């Protein structure tokens, strides 16, 4: 007898459909799994046998061959346990083939016959084209996110068998956890006292998707500002939300109560992170990295100069392209990685620096070595580079609270609408060729840029970046006409040269 059960396996953040074929015939009793299974997949043989026996089902003393088709794709993980067990039951005549028709199965088996969760339920379910999918009970919300299938749950093999045979109704899905009333209250911009420039920079970054580098002494409030950035971004919609959910699911990161990732993610990897942790990859099973987990959200790199230079430079290509292609001998996987990069750094190892006041205690060589960590090409990708100073005592202790996140978020949303009308997600993506049409300059504005160009303070590519930022600043002011002098000046002031070629003292 032969049975074929639809299931799926994970390749990067995408699911690939897999047909689990089980063949039972006479011969010497044995159980083989073929079709490029990896170690955890091959072990399913032992889990399936124990689960069937614990559930009181007979283990036939026959020759069993399991084939995972297509056999050219490497299969990993334990999610194929359940389809193998079901296939075995059908092939050994313990279950009618009609009972499982149109059903896909995903789940890991425990030795006691329980059905357990596996990572990547969202992309796995999305890869299935059956009408019904059966998943472990705690994966119900994740599986429902896709929305094309009738999602069934079963906690144990016995429960599943009873439901499939029609002896018992399908078990109820677990009650959804109550959604917290406040959407997981995000830190509010009203907590930030003073910091007029930092606030402006964060608002412009949120509105235009411009990468932001904050530099300043310890305690100036760089991290505080960066943490308030996700609260200013509009919630994710449609495809973006689904892609973000798929990535989080594939990386086994806990999903929010509703199942769908709608808040823009905020990821803050520690500076000990390796290149693979950041970019994605791994040997057996390709896991998305931090840059993909922050897709459509914010990647915050605190103490950026402490990251190894090689790790930082690996970010350059994904920043440009919005995807990262990880190539290994076995497979090449593309992970989406369109993120807003926010870096925070001290101006020098002692933190007091900047060469402005002479308070810095670092030797010049140490300062230069520190600044060299951020290569020129990477630094160039930051449209906004801001020096943050410690706020003065008066504004910390007694000053009026700053503007809250809500009105700022409203301005950001309006500015993003204007960008959508221009055919891009945000102004950072405006093509250089379209700038003359989409961000025309008033005569005052072009005079300012011309002066900068002529005095060698700005490069031709720098002009494009300034014009995009100036467009965003004008949009935030609700002005969709030409960009004027004030917008360009502010854009220039928000793009300080942070690591200059140290002038010969």
Partner 1 sequence: MTEVPPEGWAAALAGLPGMGPARLRAVLGVWAPEEAWAHIAAGSGCSRPVVALTCRPDPAGTAALWRVAARKVSVAGTWDAHQRAGVAVSLPGGPGFPAELHLDLEPPAIVFSRGDTAALDGRRVAIVGTRRCTRYGRDVAFELGRDLASSGIRVVSGLALGVDGAAHRGALASCGAPPVAVVGSGLDVVYPPAHRALWEQVAGAGLLLSEAPLGARPEPWRFPVRNRVIAALAEVVVVVESAEKGGSRHTVEAAMVRDRVVMAVPGSVRSPVSSYTNGLLADGCHPVRDALDVLVALGLSTVPQAPADLRPEPGPEEAPVLEALAWEPATFDDLCARSGHSPGQISVGLARLQAGGWVVERAGWWERAT
- Closer of 437 and 504 to partner 1 (Cβ): 504
Least distance from partner 1 to the Cβ atom of residue 349, Å: 14
Least distance from partner 1 to the Cβ atom of residue 13, Å: 39
Least distance from partner 1 to the Cβ atom of residue 495, Å: 10
Rounded to whole angstroms, how far apart are CA atoms 255 and 75?
24
Strands (E), 289-345: 298-301, 323-327, 332-336, 340-345
Least distance from partner 1 to the Cβ atom of residue 476, Å: 10
CA distances from 225 to 265, 302, 381, 471 (A): 16, 12, 20, 22
DSSP annotation string for 226-254? HHTSGGGSPPP-HHHHHHHHHHHHHTTPP
CA atoms within 13 A on the CB side of 355: 14
Strand partners, 344: 214
Least distance from partner 1 to the Cβ atom of residue 459, Å: 16
- Closer of 295 and 465 to partner 1 (Cβ): 465
What DSSP element (H or E) covers 152? strand 150-153
- Closer of 397 and 504 to partner 1 (Cβ): 504
- Closer of 267 and 385 to partner 1 (Cβ): 385
Binding site residues, partner 1, CB under 8 A = 194-198, 200, 215, 347, 354-360, 364, 385-389, 391-392, 395, 448, 451, 473, 485-486, 488-490, 492-494, 496-500, 503-505
- Closer of 254 and 501 to partner 1 (Cβ): 501
CB contact at 8 A, 76 and 284: yes
Rounded to whole angstroms, how far apart are CA atoms 24 and 11?
29
- Closer of 460 and 505 to partner 1 (Cβ): 505
Least distance from partner 1 to the Cβ atom of residue 498, Å: 6
Least distance from partner 1 to the Cβ atom of residue 207, Å: 14
Rounded to whole angstroms, how far apart are CA atoms 10 and 334?
13
CB contact at 8 A, 145 and 236: no
CA distances from 400 to 192, 195, 393 (A): 10, 12, 13
Rounded to whole angstroms, how far apart are CA atoms 348 and 365?
11
- Closer of 94 and 395 to partner 1 (Cβ): 395
* Omega cis (within 30) before 70: yes
- Closer of 247 and 473 to partner 1 (Cβ): 473
Least distance from partner 1 to the Cβ atom of residue 340, Å: 20
CB contact at 8 A, 483 and 467: yes
What is the distance of C-alpha 336 from the center of its chain? Answer: 8
Q: Taking the alpha carbons of 13, 19, 24, 28 in that order, is the dihedral positive or negative?
A: negative
Least distance from partner 1 to the Cβ atom of residue 355, Å: 6
- Closer of 18 and 220 to partner 1 (Cβ): 220
CA distances from 241 to 160, 217, 256, 308, 471 (A): 32, 36, 12, 32, 27
- Closer of 91 and 491 to partner 1 (Cβ): 491
Least distance from partner 1 to the Cβ atom of residue 221, Å: 10
């Amino acid at each position: 007898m032969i049975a074929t059960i639809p299931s799926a396996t994970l390749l990067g953040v995408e699911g690939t459909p897999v047909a689990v074929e089980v063949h039972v015939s006479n011969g010497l009793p044995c159980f083989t799994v073929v079709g490029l299974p990896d170690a955890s997949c091959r072990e399913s043989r032992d889990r399936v046998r124990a689960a069937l026996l614990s559930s009181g089902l007979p283990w036939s003393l026959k020759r069993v061959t399991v084939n995972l088709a297509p056999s050219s794709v490497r299969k990993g993980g334990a999610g194929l346990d359940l389809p193998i067990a079901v296939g075995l039951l059908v092939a050994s005549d313990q279950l009618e083939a009609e009972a499982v028709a149109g059903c896909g199965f995903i789940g890991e088996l425990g030795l006691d016959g329980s059905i357990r969760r596996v990572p990547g339920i969202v992309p796995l379910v999305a890869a299935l084209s059956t009408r019904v999918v059966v998943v472990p009970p705690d994966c119900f919300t994740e599986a429902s996110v896709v929305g094309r299938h009738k999602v069934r749950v079963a906690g144990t093999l016995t429960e599943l068998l009873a439901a499939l045979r029609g002896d018992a109704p399908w078990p109820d899905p677990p009650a959804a956890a109550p959604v917290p009333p406040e959407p997981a209250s995000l830190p509010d911009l009203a907590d930030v006292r003073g910091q007029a420039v930092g606030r402006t920079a964060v608002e412009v970054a949120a509105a235009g998707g411009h990468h932001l580098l904050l530099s300043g002494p310890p305690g100036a409030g760089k991290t505080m500002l960066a943490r308030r950035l996700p609260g200013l971004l509009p919630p994710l919609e449609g495809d973006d939300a689904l892609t973000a959910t798929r990535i989080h699911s594939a990386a086994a990161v806990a999903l929010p109560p509703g199942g769908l990732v709608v808040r823009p993610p905020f990821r803050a990897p520690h500076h000990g992170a390796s290149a693979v942790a950041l970019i994605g990859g791994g040997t057996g099973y390709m896991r998305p990295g931090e840059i993909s987990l922050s897709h459509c959200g914010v990647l915050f790199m605190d103490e950026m100069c402490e990251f190894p230079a090689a790790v930082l430079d690996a970010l350059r290509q994904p920043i440009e392209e919005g995807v990262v292609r990880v190539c290994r001998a076995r497979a090449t996987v593309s992970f989406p990685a369109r993120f807003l990069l926010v870096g925070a750094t001290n101006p020098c190892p002692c933190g007091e620096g900047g060469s402005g006041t002479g308070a810095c205690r670092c030797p010049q060589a140490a300062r230069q070595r520190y600044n060299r960590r951020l290569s020129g090409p990477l630094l160039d990708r930051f449209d906004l580079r801001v020096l943050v100073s410690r706020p003065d005592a008066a504004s910390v202790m007694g000053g009026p609270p700053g503007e809250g996140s809500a009105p700022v978020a409203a301005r950001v949303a309006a500015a993003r609408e204007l960008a959508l009308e221009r055919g891009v997600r945000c102004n950072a993506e405006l093509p250089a060729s379209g700038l003359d049409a989409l961000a025309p300059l008033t005569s005052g504005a072009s005079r300012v840029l011309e002066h900068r160009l002529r005095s060698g303070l700005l490069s031709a590519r720098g002009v494009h970046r300034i014009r995009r930022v100036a467009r965003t600043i004008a949009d935030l002011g609700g002005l969709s006409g030409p960009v004027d002098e004030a917008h360009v000046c502010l854009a220039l002031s928000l793009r300080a040269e942070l690591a200059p070629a140290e002038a010969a003292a």
